[in-house]
Amino acid sequence: MTLEVGNIVEGTVVNITSFGAFIDLMGKTGLVHISEVADSYVKDIKDFLKDGDKVKVKVLSVDNNGKISLSIKQANTVAAPAKRSTRPTEVDWHHSDRQDRKKAPAPSSFEDIMSKFMKESEEKMSDFKKHQEVRTKSRRGN
């Protein structure tokens, strides 16, 4: 098999550096940059790889000088089958017919939102003051 961009091949880790790992592929050497080792953050590549490990890699690029860029992360993503959710789908039993549902209002401007807030706030303050007056009158009468 030739080393073509997009191919997934197996290789052997031959050298590990702080910036990546060199992989031997059919007599040629390619580099897996540290950012292409795993989906999670890789602080120390030696936590993920060691010399002599057999790894599957995806060929990202092959330039004219013979430099081969590889990715372990992308090879594993392609090779792994898509996981299906075991969570059941949610059903809205109260509104099974979509035509019965009300459409969500369009987003309002800041001024509209502030105006609505002020109106509601004034109504609440008015109710609170009325309640306080009733309590004050009932205490005076006792």
- Tell me: the pLDDT tens digits for 26-82? 888 999 999 999 888 888 999 999 999 999 999 999 888 889 999 999 888 754 455
Domain boundaries, the chain: 8-79, 108-141
C-alpha to C-alpha distance for 20 and 11, rounded to whole angstroms: 15
Q: Which fold has domain 8-79?
A: OB fold (Dihydrolipoamide Acetyltransferase, E2P) (2.40.50)
More confident residue, 132 or 13: 13
Name every residue whose Cβ is closer than 8 Å to that of residue 38 and which is 6 or more positions away in sequence: 48, 72, 73
Q: What pLDDT, in 10s, does the model give residues 107-126?
A: 678 888 888 999 999 999 99
Judged against a pLDDT cut of 50, whether residue 104 lies above it is answered with: yes
CB hemisphere CA count around 25 (13 angstroms) = 27
This prediction's pTM = 0.53
* Highest-scoring range by mean pLDDT, 49-58, 84-93, 132-141: 49-58
Q: What is the C-alpha to C-alpha distance for residues 87 and 107, in angstroms, rounded to an integer?
A: 32
